[in-house]
Amino acid sequence: GENVEQHPSTLSVQEGDSAVIKCTYSDSASNYFPWYKQELGKGPQLIIDIRSNVGEKKDQRIAVTLNKTAKHFSLHITETQPEDSAVYFCAAMAPKAAGNKLTFGGGTRVLVKP
């Protein structure tokens, strides 16, 4: 089955700096890669996703890149703000006949210091 590795597990950045989180996946059939942000006391919420037919996607201060050949994808947050502090999860999904199944990375705890 699919295996997703995520690094780093914790990341501390100064406000205004950039943060980068990297993930690798094992199943070459995976073609959907969402990123979730989980704030304290809440469930994960989708912040951006990318499908395998594109290499990069941007939404304001966040961007995701995908390298299908190397089977890795990354989340980039620019001009970080204190409200970006949270746990971030990457995930990968391969086409299945019944029921989408997301495989998640281990998570990255991001702390933005004012």
Partner 1 sequence: ETGVTQTPRHLVMGMTNKKSLKCEQHLGHNAMYWYKQSAKKPLELMFVYSLEERVENNSVPSRFSPECPNSSHLFLHLHTLQPEDSALYLCASSPGRMNTEAFFGQGTRLTVV
Beta bridge partners of 92: 103
CA neighbor of 21 nearest in space, from 3, 48, 43, 40: 48
40 binds partner 1 (CB under 8 A): no
Interaction between residue 107 and partner 1 (CB under 8 A): yes
Q: Is 99 in the site for partner 1 (CB under 8 A)?
A: yes
Judged by CB under 8 A, does residue 114 bind partner 1? no
Backbone angles phi, psi at 31, to 5 degrees: -140, 10
- At which residue do the structure tokens 């006391």 appear? 41
Applying CB under 8 A, the residues found at the interface with partner 1 are 31-32, 34, 36, 41-46, 49, 51, 87, 89, 93, 95-96, 98-104, 106-107
